């Protein structure tokens, strides 16, 4: 199978067996436990503490001291869970073929589930005590007052909890609420018959989604890309009424739950958990739709540089410049301190610690988990899993995961256990900001224009895929849910109209439109699995663009203030609602200018790219 020209193929470092990889490229899990025996001993302590916790049931009403005792023991259990869970999980990710370790991992899952059952009495028992009483206790007991936000959150969440009978009814309904997504997965994965196409080279390719992406990203023949697009999306168009009916199931379920819990809309229900005002989402959608100018300019530039007569959805990911420079892991690490220098001495100190050894698992080896992540192991340090292959993407992944890890370190260092974790709503702010700082540094050191163009395109494609596309998806979800809320029919026609309308609203005359694009919404897994989720990538991106602006532009004193506010955000963990945390950092997601910061960022990058390429 031939899908890419040799010039574009990247030679990854040779795959080695794990023992052959030098220790300095591997994480050191002995920072958690020296061996499995120590793990086992802690596992048993955890088990005992869970049993102790269950015995506290019925004591909370006896006063502040009892409530505090339960909270402290819950923290202790949580701390131990981090250790036993991550030791087993990270070991397993080193080689997922290891059944023995997988069994230990499942053993922890069973214990954590037991912990969940043993602590389930706490919330209902606390909520039977009037909030006024608990507030009185907190004002008299400083140790208890630490938990104020967490406790008041429980009472706030309670507003939409039903009585026992209602909750029971909802729990019965939850058994079939995953059916639309299960059926979507079966129809699009398990039961699908992937078509085969013949490329211009004469090679036959089976068009799975992975192959489709590879063809779009590497095949310089437009007819081949068009054929792949038609083959893949033809599958969805051919079953479009079935997909529409499955998606209708998702919409009806969401509206059922929202109404049952007393929300006025599905959006309100989705945002209540993090206490996000609906205006954040409407502002995001409106300001982005009004800011598609630079997006269209980018696509027009692509059309011109690629020398295409017509420009389609399937022409949007092929690279503009042939660029295959290698970025070794050691070089990448060496660039981080300078990239992040603006963030000050405390950040620099933790960064030195992070790169000094034992935190990062660098290279691929047989059986190792794919992708990249940062795992927050409380009371030890974060661990980062990479599969570094010397590409530009891999270099940015190091910066991204380091952004997560530094967030974790600062949050753990400055917060009590109960607030050490942070929400997804802020999680991608430090990682994308780290990428932006890294880009700025890399652009400043790049001497040849090919590299600069490669860097710019990488950054632009990041904004297009994590911001514009996600906002468009969120817009689609909102409009689709509104059909149901307004009692309108949900048909393949209606859903196709919404999606096609959005494609046109975003891309205007920069695209040539194929009728088949009307059906492309049907493939997006997030729509079925996690409604109203993807907009959070976009709000994180907007927040980090706004912060980047404040940190790097304007008078020195203002910049320093912005940096201090940003570091306070990282140190604040999960100690407040995310909107309030971001506001403290100088980001108001309810205001158009925050979202416009991304539009401005894209505008500047496209202008730079236009210059480099001309």
Note the residues at the interface with Zn ion (CB under 5 A).
431
> Is residue 370 classed exposed, middle or buried when 0-12, 13-18 and 19+ CB atoms within 10 A define those classes?
exposed
| Nearest CB to Zn ion, comparing residues 266 and 431 | 431
| Nearest CB to Zn ion, comparing residues 408 and 431 | 431
| Nearest CB to Zn ion, comparing residues 146 and 540 | 540
| Nearest CB to Zn ion, comparing residues 111 and 399 | 399
Are the CB atoms for 96 and 367 separated by under 8 Å?
yes
Minimum distance from residue 403 beta carbon to Zn ion (Å): 8
Minimum distance from residue 471 beta carbon to Zn ion (Å): 18
* CA dihedral for 66, 68, 71, 73, sign (positive or negative): negative
E strand or H helix that includes residue 7: none
CA dist., res. 383 & res. 405, Å (int): 8
CA dist., res. 97 & res. 368, Å (int): 8
CA dist., res. 462 & res. 435, Å (int): 10
Residue nearest to Zn ion (CB): 431
* CA dihedral for 515, 290, 498, 184, sign (positive or negative): positive
Phi/psi of residue 16, nearest 5 degrees: -115, 155
Minimum distance from residue 224 beta carbon to Zn ion (Å): 32
| Nearest CB to Zn ion, comparing residues 431 and 520 | 431
Minimum distance from residue 576 beta carbon to Zn ion (Å): 21
| Nearest CB to Zn ion, comparing residues 181 and 432 | 432
CB burial of 21-34 (b: ≥16 within 10 Å; e: otherwise) equals: beeebbbebeebbe
Please, how many CA atoms are within 13 Å of residue 507, restricted to the half-sphere of its CB?
A: 22
Are the CB atoms for 438 and 336 separated by under 8 Å?
yes
Q: Which residue has the tokens 């980062």?
A: 384
Minimum distance from residue 435 beta carbon to Zn ion (Å): 9
Minimum distance from residue 537 beta carbon to Zn ion (Å): 9
Strand partners, 374: 384
Name the token pair of 163: 């009585």
Which residues are CB-neighbours of 522 under 8 A, at least 6 positions away? 236, 237, 239, 240, 243, 244, 247, 495
Minimum distance from residue 65 beta carbon to Zn ion (Å): 41
Return the SS3 of 376: strand
Minimum distance from residue 591 beta carbon to Zn ion (Å): 25
Minimum distance from residue 401 beta carbon to Zn ion (Å): 7
Name the token pair of 145: 């007052």
| Nearest CB to Zn ion, comparing residues 380 and 429 | 429
E strand or H helix that includes residue 196: strand 196-198
Rg of the chain on CA atoms, in Å: 26
Catalytic residue among 81, 94, 364, 401: 401
* 3-state per-residue secondary structure call for 429-469: HHHHHHHHHHHHHHHHHCCCHHHHHHHHHHHHHHHHHHHHH
CA dist., res. 510 & res. 293, Å (int): 10
Rounded to a whole number, what is the distance in angstroms from the first to the last CA of the chain? 35
CA dist., res. 313 & res. 52, Å (int): 59
Please, how many CA atoms are within 13 Å of residue 257, restricted to the half-sphere of its CB?
A: 21
Are the CB atoms for 406 and 339 separated by under 8 Å?
no
Minimum distance from residue 431 beta carbon to Zn ion (Å): 4
Tell which residue, 98, 84, 122, has the closest CA to residue 378. 84
For residue 17, indicate whether it is catalytic: no
Are the CB atoms for 402 and 434 separated by under 8 Å?
yes
| Nearest CB to Zn ion, comparing residues 403 and 496 | 403
Catalytic amino acids? 401
């Amino acid at each position: 199978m031939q899908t890419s020209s040799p010039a574009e193929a990247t030679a990854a470092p040779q795959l080695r067996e794990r023992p052959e990889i030098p220790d300095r490229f591997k994480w050191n899990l002995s920072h958690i436990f020296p061996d499995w025996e120590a793990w086992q001993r802690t596992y048993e302590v955890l088990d005992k503490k869970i049993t102790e916790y269950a015995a506290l049931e019925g004591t909370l009403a006896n006063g502040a001291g009892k409530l505090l005792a339960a909270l402290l023991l819950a923290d202790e259990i949580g701390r131990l869970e981090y250790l036993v869970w991550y030791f087993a999980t990270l070991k397993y990710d080193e080689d997922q073929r290891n059944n023995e370790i997988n069994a230990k991992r499942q053993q922890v899952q069973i214990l954590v589930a037991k912990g969940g059952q043993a602590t389930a009495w706490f919330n209902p028992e606390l909520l039977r005590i009037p909030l006024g009483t608990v507030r009185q206790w907190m004002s008299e007991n400083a140790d208890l007052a630490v938990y104020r936000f967490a406790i008041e959150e429980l009472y706030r969440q309670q507003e939409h909890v039903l009585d026992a009978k209602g909750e029971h009814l909802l729990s019965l309904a939850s058994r079939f609420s995953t059916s639309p997504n299960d059926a979507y997965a079966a129809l699009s994965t398990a039961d699908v018959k992937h078509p085969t196409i013949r490329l211009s080279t004469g090679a036959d390719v089976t068009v799975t989604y992975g192959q489709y992406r590879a063809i779009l990203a590497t095949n310089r023949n437009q007819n081949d890309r068009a054929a792949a697009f038609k083959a893949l999306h033809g599958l969805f168009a051919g079953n479009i009424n079935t997909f529409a009916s499955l998606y209708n199931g998702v919409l009806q379920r969401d509206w059922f739950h929202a109404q049952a819990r007393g929300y006025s809309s599905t959006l309100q229900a989705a945002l209540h958990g993090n206490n996000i005002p609906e205006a954040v989402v409407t502002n995001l959608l409106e300001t982005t739709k009004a800011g598609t100018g630079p997006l269209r300019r980018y696509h027009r530039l692509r059309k011109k540089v690629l020398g295409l007569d017509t420009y389609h959805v399937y022409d949007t990911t092929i690279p503009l410049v042939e660029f295959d420079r290698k970025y070794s892991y050691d070089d990448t690490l060496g660039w981080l301190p300078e990239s992040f220098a603006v963030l000050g001495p405390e950040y620099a100190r933790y960064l030195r610690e992070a790169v000094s050894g034992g935190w990062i698992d660098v290279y691929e080896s047989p059986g190792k988990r794919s992708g990249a992540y940062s795992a927050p192991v409380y009371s030890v340090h974060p661990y980062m899993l990479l599969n570094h292959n010397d590409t530009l993407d891999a270099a940015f992944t190091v910066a991204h995961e380091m952004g997560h890890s530094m967030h974790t370190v600062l949050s753990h260092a400055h917060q009590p256990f109960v607030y050490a974790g942070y929400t997804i709503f802020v999680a991608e702010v430090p990682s994308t900001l780290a990428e932006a700082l890294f880009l700025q540094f890399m652009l400043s050191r790049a001497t040849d224009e090919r590299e600069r163009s490669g860097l710019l395109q990488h950054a632009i494609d990041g904004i297009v895929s994590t911001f514009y596309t996600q906002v468009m998806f969120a817009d689609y979800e909102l409009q689709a849910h509104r059909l149901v809320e307004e009692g309108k029919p949900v048909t393949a026609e209606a859903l196709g109209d919404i999606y096609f309308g959005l494609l046109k609203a975003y891309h205007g005359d920069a695209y040539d439109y194929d009728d088949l694009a009307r059906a492309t919404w049907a493939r997006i897994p997030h729509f079925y699995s996690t409604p109203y989720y993807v907009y959070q990538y976009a709000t994180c991106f907007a927040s980090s663009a706004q912060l980047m602006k404040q940190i790097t532009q304007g008078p020195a004193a203002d910049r320093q203030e912005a940096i201090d506010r940003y570091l306070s955000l990282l140190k604040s963990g999960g100690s407040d609602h995310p909107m309030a945390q971001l506001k403290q950092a100088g980001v108001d997601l309810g205001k158009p200018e925050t979202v416009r910061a991304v539009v401005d960022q894209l505008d500047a990058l496209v202008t730079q790219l236009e210059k480099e390429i001309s």
